[in-house]
Amino acid sequence: MEVILKQDVNKLGYKDEIVKVKDGYANNYLIPQGYAVMATASNRKILAENLKQRAFKEAKIKQEAETYAASLAKIEGLRIGAKASETGKIFGSVNTIQIADAIKAQFDIDVDRKKISIVGDAIKEIGTHKVIVSVYKDIKPEITFEVFAE
């Protein structure tokens, strides 16, 4: 019997996938638990329409993410001030909150601090550093910024 999975099932398949299973497994476990529905002609049409709509939404979201990433990639000359010693060591470290605030203040672009990841170790010295902003699945622009002593 062929069934359409409503959610991921371990060692069987992923959501919205049509899989062939034994009749007893489908009738006694998958369908009653709500993990699958029978792959009838009408259910196949519904699945095709859902996949088509999801692909359209996905393309729209990806386009918006690419536009946002392009605006982030244009950021140059980002500067963050920190209190530092004579040797160039920062008292404390520069974190993602300070980076997001600096981007908002200097370029008027909102960036979620949770999507910023620092390249390498923590930023504890004056100089040029890099961060990666996770905008979408595989869209991750890199931003270079300078930390200076206040």
CATH code for the domain in which residue 135 is found: 3.10.430.100
Q: What is the pTM of this model?
A: 0.72
Q: Are residues 83 and 143 in the same domain?
A: yes
pLDDT in tens, the chain (150 residues): 999 999 999 999 999 999 999 999 999 999 999 999 999 999 999 999 999 999 999 999 999 999 999 999 999 999 999 999 999 999 999 999 999 999 999 999 999 999 999 998 899 999 999 999 999 988 999 999 999 998
Residue 72 backbone dihedrals phi, psi, to 5 degrees: -70, -35
What pLDDT was estimated at residue 150? 85
User: 104-107 — which CB contacts under 8 Å span 24+ positions?
Assistant: 106/77, 106/78, 106/79, 107/75, 107/78
- Domain of 88 in residue numbering reads as 70-149
Domain end point (choices 62, 83, 106): 62
Q: Are residues 89 and 129 in the same domain?
A: yes
Question: Is there a contact between 32 and 60 (Cβ–Cβ < 8 Å)?
Answer: no
Q: Are residues 25 and 81 in the same domain?
A: no
- CA dihedral over 69, 71, 76, 78, signed as positive or negative: negative
Q: Are residues 76 and 145 in the same domain?
A: yes
Tokens of 135: 């905008």
CATH number at residue 55: 3.40.5.10
How many domains, the chain?
2
What pLDDT was estimated at residue 124? 93
Q: Are residues 44 and 83 in the same domain?
A: no
